Amino acid sequence: MHTRAHCPTCQTAYDLPPDACQHCGFPFAGTEKEKSVFIGQQILKKGTISDTREHIQRARTILWIIGAITMVLAFVQDAPDGISQTFHLVLGAVFVGFGFLTYKKPFLSILIPLLLLAGYYIALALVEPAVLMQGVTRRIVFLGGLVYALVSIVRAEKARKESQFLKGHQYN
């Protein structure tokens, strides 16, 4: 009776085991150490992709918080005028909207608001440097969270490109 060989990583079945799995690259012909290293690397890459989901969720939450704070600022400023209120309402809505877009296009939906936020902080520093120092910890957390999510997405994309098997694993 003939038994089929199955790849231990992706479960692809073969009549005869090839030198390497055509789907994921598992080294059938490799030493036990090479096989163990390969499986360990696949586990790490899967973990990277899985962690990216959490980082995108955190970035989404940050965008929603930034949007809410920005919209609230439209009404609680010392001397709100129509232009300032409209600006803050629109900017807040943009951040909230990009938060929802992270479900479809996470990289761009985090990068664009990150650039907007950095530009806003730079403009704020040029106009009124003292205001920038208020809530500096919050600003650092917001920027850091968005940057970390972008770095995580880049790492996950790299892991997915390195393995045919991992291309099917989604992070969003």
Show Cβ contacts of residue 18 under 8 Å, excluding neighbours closer than 6 positions.
Answer: 28, 29
Q: Which two tokens stand for residue 112?
A: 């664009």
Please name the residue that has the structure tokens 């586990």: 43
- The structure's pTM equals 0.78
pLDDT band at 2 (very low <50, low <70, confident <90, very high): low
Query: How confident is the model at residue 9, as a pLDDT?
Result: 79
**Distance separating alpha carbons of residues 170 and 172, to the nearest angstrom:** 6
Region 1-14: what's the mean pLDDT?
77
Query: How confident is the model at residue 31, as a pLDDT?
Result: 87
Position 172 pLDDT exceeds 70: no
pLDDT band at 168 (very low <50, low <70, confident <90, very high): low
Q: What is the pLDDT of residues 73-130, one digit of tens each?
A: 888 876 667 788 888 899 999 999 999 999 999 999 999 999 999 998 898 888 888 8
Largest CA distance in the chain: 85
Query: How confident is the model at residue 106, as a pLDDT?
Result: 95
Query: How confident is the model at residue 46, as a pLDDT?
Result: 83
**103-108 long-range Cβ contacts below 8 angstroms, 24+ apart:** 103/60, 103/172, 104/172, 106/56, 106/59, 106/149, 106/153, 106/171, 106/172, 107/150, 107/153, 107/154
Query: How confident is the model at residue 79, as a pLDDT?
Result: 60
Q: What is the pLDDT of residues 40-77, one digit of tens each?
A: 888 888 888 889 999 999 999 999 999 999 999 888 87
Task: Pick 106 or 39 by higher pLDDT.
Answer: 106
Q: What whole-number percentage of the chain has pLDDT above 90?
A: 40
